[in-house]
Chain A
Amino acid sequence: MTKQEYLNELKSELAKNAVPDADDILMEYEQHFQFKLADGFTEEEIAFKLGSPAQIAAQYVGIPGEKKAKGGKKFLLVLWLTIIGIIEAFLYGAFLYFIVALFVASLVPAALGVELIMGINYLNILPPMPYGGAIVFGIMLLALCVILVVFAIYCFAYLRQMVRASLRWRKNLMRGENLPLLPMSPQFQPKTRRTLRTILLWAVLVFAIAFVAGYAILSIYTHSFGFWHALGWFGYPATIH
């Protein structure tokens, strides 16, 4: 069988079996002939080694044709994804700014807490109070810093997962792949998740205890529940020094 005879027979066998994309398939076998001819085989040898056209055609039965996205459809898809992408980018950008702000904001209680604990008052921004109250409020502020940092980490993980899920969804749409969609919630390793949760719980606990204790200490010290009056905070005249 010559190359042309083989291809003709394959073509009619494919048509007989209603195999889709027959032109593509024929092209593949024609190229096989070309490669083999270049290696010095004769058309008869190549046709014999390929196997009979009927057998080959039978192996294509049941394979669905390729879904080729039409040019216009593809263009609409890209346009649509671009529009959504711009909106998404704004949301993610705003979220990212928020997260950065959280990280920066967490530095403030940290700095104030360290000042209170070390008994210094750099730039004179802290109200006067006895050291017994200051150290407890210092601890409270450090706990607040930890809470903010953990919250920021959660937010960042959430943002990252959202971006990943969005990219996966786009990839599936654009390339016609069927990768599993990703969940939106942050995916921590179980160990990381447990650690973060433990840190957060302890920080909240320390914050609450220190707040109550600090309030109590200063109230006892000044004999007043509104201790800030007695200590002369916020411009009140101090009655205790």
Chain B
Amino acid sequence: MNIQYKKGVLELCVLSLLEKRDWYGYEISEYLSQKIDIADGTVYPILRKLKSDGLVTTYLIEASGGPPRKYYSLTQTGRELYITDKTDYLAFAATIQTILEEQTI
């Protein structure tokens, strides 16, 4: 599938995951690269952008047998933005689907 499609919605996917619980970066990268065909390295710039936009915050947790994990957590702003973006996207996707499936006009 065209890479341009995926990039746009990846941010929304990350917000969606973080809305359910806090994740650490590698976890998100693994989860998404298993479901969507993207390069593993794509998720980290997105996380950094979300943080610089004030949508997520980070905190470190020491893990046994590995580097400390940087957990990402949704801020109130992030949560509010996710809710509106999700609604917008679902409406948009539904419209596209109708148009694509129209046999005749």
B29-56 to A contact mask, C-beta < 8 Å, 1/0: 1000100000111101100110110100
Count: A-B pairs, CB below 8 Å: 68
- Is the CB–CB distance between B39 and A55 below 8 Å? yes
- Is the CB–CB distance between A50 and B76 below 8 Å? no
Q: What B residues does A36 contact at CB under 8 A?
A: 40
Q: What B residues does A38 contact at CB under 8 A?
A: 65-66
- Given A49-B33, A59-B45: A28 in contact with B25 (beta carbons within 8 A): yes
The CA of A28 and the CA of B17, in the complex, are separated in Å by 19
The CA of A55 and the CA of B39, in the complex, are separated in Å by 10
- Given A28-B25, A59-B45, A60-B48: A49 in contact with B39 (beta carbons within 8 A): yes
- Is the CB–CB distance between A177 and B26 below 8 Å? no
Which secondary structure characterizes the binding site on chain B? Answer: helix
Closest A residue, CB atoms, query B65: A38
The CA of A16 and the CA of B72, in the complex, are separated in Å by 28
Per the CB 8 Å criterion, the residue count for chain B at the interface is 23
The CA of A104 and the CA of B53, in the complex, are separated in Å by 49
B8 interface residue per 8 A CB criterion? no
Q: What B residues does A179 contact at CB under 8 A?
A: 75-77
The CA of A46 and the CA of B41, in the complex, are separated in Å by 10
- Is the CB–CB distance between A32 and B52 below 8 Å? no
Classify chain A: how many residues form its interface, as a range.
20 to 34
A215 interface residue per 8 A CB criterion? no
- Given A38-B66, A178-B54: A51 in contact with B25 (beta carbons within 8 A): no
- Is the CB–CB distance between A50 and B48 below 8 Å? no
A191 interface residue per 8 A CB criterion? no
The CA of A190 and the CA of B25, in the complex, are separated in Å by 44
Closest B residue, CB atoms, query A64: B52
B17 to chain A, nearest CB (A): 17
- Given A32-B29, A179-B77: A63 in contact with B39 (beta carbons within 8 A): no
A1 to chain B, nearest CB (A): 13
Q: What B residues does A64 contact at CB under 8 A?
A: 52
- Is the CB–CB distance between B40 and A60 below 8 Å? no
- Is the CB–CB distance between A29 and B52 below 8 Å? no
On A, residues with C-beta under 8 Å from B are 25, 28-32, 34-36, 38, 46, 49-51, 55-56, 59-60, 63-66, 175-179
Give 8 nearest A-B pairs by CB, closest first: A51-B39, A59-B45, A50-B41, A51-B41, A31-B67, A35-B26, A56-B41, A49-B40
Q: What are 18 pairs between A and B in contact, CB < 8 Å?
A: A28-B25, A30-B67, A31-B25, A31-B26, A31-B70, A32-B29, A32-B41, A55-B39, A56-B39, A59-B45, A60-B45, A63-B48, A63-B49, A63-B52, A64-B52, A65-B52, A176-B54, A179-B75
